[in-house]
Amino acid sequence: MTWVVLVVSGVLEAVWATALSASDGFKKVVPTIVFVAGMALSMVGLGYAMTGIPVGTAYAVWVGIGASLTVVLAIVRRQEAASFARIALVLGLVACVAGLKVVS
């Protein structure tokens, strides 16, 4: 169960990071609310996951999921360019996160 919560928390990290960008410096209300709620839920989930997963592994997986999904969302929303190198590096990050799960 802790791994499921950790994955959901990682997804919420991508949500709050994307909402932070969309908030335009906290000038837009809805993205700001999504940012605050997403960040709070993400942190609570990360804290819960750390009760059953070592802190280094949990944090690395959380950051890896969040960072990877944030890049993918930015590419899909055409805020960032997709290049072979960028995609390869994100896939490498995903492989590292999966590797941490395998060895845990």
Q: Which pLDDT score is estimated for 102?
A: 83
Q: How confident is the model at residue 58 (pLDDT cuts 50, 70, 90)?
A: very high
Average pLDDT, integer, range 72-98:
91
Q: What is the dihedral of CA 86, 87, 92, 97, to 10 degrees?
A: 110
- Read off the pLDDT of residues 61-77 as tens digits, 9 standing for 90 and up: 999 999 999 999 999 99
Residues 6+ apart with CB under 8 A from 73: 14, 18
Average of per-residue pLDDT values in the chain:
93
Average pLDDT, integer, range 48-63:
93
C-alpha to C-alpha distance for 84 and 80, rounded to whole angstroms? 13
Q: How confident is the model at residue 97 (pLDDT cuts 50, 70, 90)?
A: confident
For residue 28, count CB atoms less than 10 angstroms from its CB and return exposed for 0-12, middle for 13-18, buried for 19 or more: middle
